Amino acid sequence: MRGIDLEPQPEEALTPAEDTSSANATASTPPMVAIDSKIEQAMDLVKTHLMFAVREEVEVLRARIVDLEGHVHHLEAENNVLRSHVPDDVLKKMNLH
């Protein structure tokens, strides 16, 4: 029976499917590079937008902090004035003195 060869083939020999896929890989390299380039550009654009949004939010939060610090100083001054006009016995009852 000579029709079927059961001997393993050497590893260097490519099957027709492997030969075609390696040719496709070489032929598909330029489109893959273009896709990779477009993905990188899109990621850079997303990064730019995120950085802009973060910077904008930081500016808003810094302004809010300045406003709140001013409000705290105002309330502390008001509290000091009110405490100075309250009798000591009332402060003792409130455990604030």
| Overall pTM surpassing 0.85 (yes/no) | no
Under the banding of pLDDT at 50, 70 and 90, the label for residue 88 is confident
User: Is 9 within the bounds of a domain?
Assistant: no
Instruction: Tell me the two tokens of residue 17.
Output: 């499917």
User: Is 54 within the bounds of a domain?
Assistant: yes
Residue 35 belongs to domain spanning: 16-93
Q: What SS3 class is residue 67?
A: helix
User: Is 58 within the bounds of a domain?
Assistant: yes
The enclosing H or E element of 62 equals helix 29-84
- What is the domain count for the chain? 1
User: Is 10 within the bounds of a domain?
Assistant: no
Q: What is the pLDDT of residues 17-73, one digit of tens each?
A: 545 544 444 555 778 889 999 999 999 999 999 999 999 999 999 999 999 999 999
User: Is 3 within the bounds of a domain?
Assistant: no
Q: What integer pLDDT is reported at residue 16 of this predicted model?
A: 52
User: Is 7 within the bounds of a domain?
Assistant: no
CA distance 83 to 2: 111
Under the banding of pLDDT at 50, 70 and 90, the label for residue 91 is confident
Is residue 2 scored above 70 in pLDDT?
no
User: Is 81 within the bounds of a domain?
Assistant: yes
Of residues 1 and 84, which shows the higher confidence score? Answer: 84
